[in-house]
Structure 1
Amino acid sequence: MKSPRIPAPPVIEPATGVLLIGLLALVGVSFYSLTIKWGELFSADALRSCMEFLNGFVPPELAAPFLIRVAEGMLETLSMSTLGTVIAFIFGITLALPASARFGATARSLIRLALNILRSIPELVWAVIVLIAAGLGPFAGTLALALHTTGVLGRLFADALENLPDAPEATLRINGASPMAAFFYASLPQILPQLMSYTLYRWENNIRAAAILGVVGAGGLGQMLKYHLSLFQMHQAASVIIAMLLMITLVDGISFRLRRQLVGNYTSSRVARLACSIGRKIFSG
């Protein structure tokens, strides 16, 4: 009886090897160029200074009027992230259609270029740009989140649409259905759970981004944190940081649970039936 043949290890392509060597060289150059004083970083003086700094945050401010302000900041941050994500979802799915080559190669290239520009600029930079036109406050933060997230979701949605099998939609088109009706009845039910999962994940990320956008004056808990730290009011800043951690943890748990449900067969079928019913109402009336 012959022993089972052990497959040969995969061969690394030369281009992959060159890339790995380049990355390792970049890491080495980074350590060499950054004059990090490791001895001072882990010294007793550094540890003592760190403990003194952390002790300044204890105890957090628990006065009722201040906690009410913190709760209002949490609600403002949550509203910024939610509204920004909803706006990005609407524009993302709209731009994903031409970006997935449904309107020709030229439209695909132009829209993908626009999406790459939107997502390549971080939320903080967008907030600085939007603040010039919109002024200080949560409106600028919402627009900054919406602009960046539109680029991210639009690209993800477009890739998902391109990877769909075209047989179901083509079958409806052959039988006389319009392109939009074929999209609503064939393609959208297949991909909607995946789109919703992407959206929930980006909402989860936008909560973190919205919590720090206030550093540039875009409202929410970040603006409160910047204000109290600039005045060295460490006890109030500790309460704001705890509120940030609690809000992000809660939203992470909710988003994770919803995304787990969306990938299940039962929930996916319900979402698919919902998409079909929406398409039926649009094209029957």
Structure 2
Amino acid sequence: MSPMEPSLSERARAAGPCLGCVLATAAILLAVIASFLYLGIDFRALVARESLASMAKFVAEFFPPDLSPDFLGRTAWGALQTLAVSALGTLIAMLGGAALALPASGRFGPALRQVSRLLLNLLRSVPELVWAALMVLAAGLGPFAGVLALALHTSGVFGRLFGETLENVPPVPERALRDAGSGAVAAFAYGSLPLAWPQWLAYSLYRWEMNIRMAAVLGFVGAGGLGQMLYFHLSLFQQAQAATVIGAMFVLVFIVDAASGRLRRGLVPAHA
């Protein structure tokens, strides 16, 4: 480029602001303002003296938490149950998501691609609480219903994420193995899967963290674990016991978040 020729940024400034960008920004601002007006949000009521006093009184009822050995033991058992529900539900969802990701990525033709994507949309569009309510009717109250609910919803999420990862994997290694006489399964296992697996595992660990929180919520519809304990004690206005359960949820999420974070960092290759 000649020294006298204006740079790209200078030509952009001379041309003025992007009309499309201005219109998009104005549309977003109008949508935000319309949302506030439509919902009738009143922040003054939130910070009113009566509201603050009511919230402070409610929070004070949670202290001190119940730290008796008997209740701590029951809380620890509920935390273990919540952890097991989330882990088993996530593991089943990994298998189901991987199975659906293959046709969803277009490996078996456009017809199966559309069918699998429709199924994935259905699985993840139904909230976990709705799946849990259905599974409680089918399998009864308890952790098994929570496992099934998490597995169904998360299979839809994993199928979408895993399928997009497969679509972005370079096809050259798998194609080279096929050209060398390898079978389709072996070519996929040694050509594409090693490239997709680290991303799949990272997605799975992150979703496991989310499923721990959701497994606790699913207890509100009878799926066991900490959520069922929390619902029981809150319904009886036993705030001290509820505070202990909430603390156990925080500790459980913190531990799993730290552990999965270390595992995810281990998936990233170290730079020389």
- Output the TM-score relative to the length of structure 1: 0.87
Residue 259 of structure 2 corresponds to: 254
Structure 1 residue corresponding to 2:39, chosen from 21, 34, 42 = 34
**Structure 2 unaligned runs (5+)?**
none
Q: In the TM superposition, what are the counterparts of 1:210-229 in structure 2 within 5 Å?
A: 210-229=215-234
What is the aligned partner in structure 1 of residue 144 from structure 2? 139
Instruction: Give percent identity, aligned residues only.
Output: 52
Structure 1 runs not aligned, ≥5 long:
267-285
Matched, 1:159 2:164: yes
Partner residue of 2:94?
A: 89
Instruction: Check if 1:78 corresponds to 2:95.
Output: no
Q: Which amino acid aligns with 2:158?
A: L
Once residues 59 and 223 of structure 2 are traced to their aligned partners in structure 1, the CA distance between those partners, rounded to angstroms, is 27
Q: Secondary structure at the match of 1:190?
A: helix
Q: Deviations over 1:109-129 (max 9, x none)?
A: 110110111111111111112
Deviation at 1:227, TM superposition (A): 0.2
* Amino acid in the other structure paired with 1:48: A
Change in Cα spacing, 1:12 to 1:111, as seen in structure 2 (3 Å) is farther
Structure 2 counterparts to residues 272-283 of structure 1, below 5 A: none
Partner of residue 269, structure 1: none
Flag the 1:83–1:17 CA change in 2: closer, same or farther, 3 A. Answer: farther
Instruction: Report the CA distance shift for 1:54/1:22 in structure 2 as closer, same or farther (over 3 A).
Output: same
Q: Does 1:108 align with 2:113?
A: yes
* CA displacement, residues 127-149 of structure 1 (integer Å, 9 cap, x when unaligned): 11211111111111110000011
CA RMSD between the two structures: 2.0
1:177 to 174, 182, 192: 182
Matched positions, count = 265
Structure 2 match to 1:68: 73
**2:135 is equivalent to residue 125 of structure 1:** no
CA distance in 2, matches of 1:124, 1:161: 30
User: SS at 1:57's partner residue?
Assistant: coil
Are 1:194 and 1:263, in contact at CA under 8 Å, matched by a contact in 2? no
**Partner amino acid, structure 2, of 1:57:** F
- CA shift, 1:235, in A, is 0.2
User: Is 1:54 equivalent to 2:59 in the alignment?
Assistant: yes
Measure how far apart 1:27 and its partner are. 2.0
Cα deviation per residue 1:240-283 (whole Å; 9 max; x = unaligned)?
Answer: 000001101111111111111112259xxxxxxxxxxxxxxxxx
CA deviation after TM superposition for structure 1 residue 6, in Å: 5.4
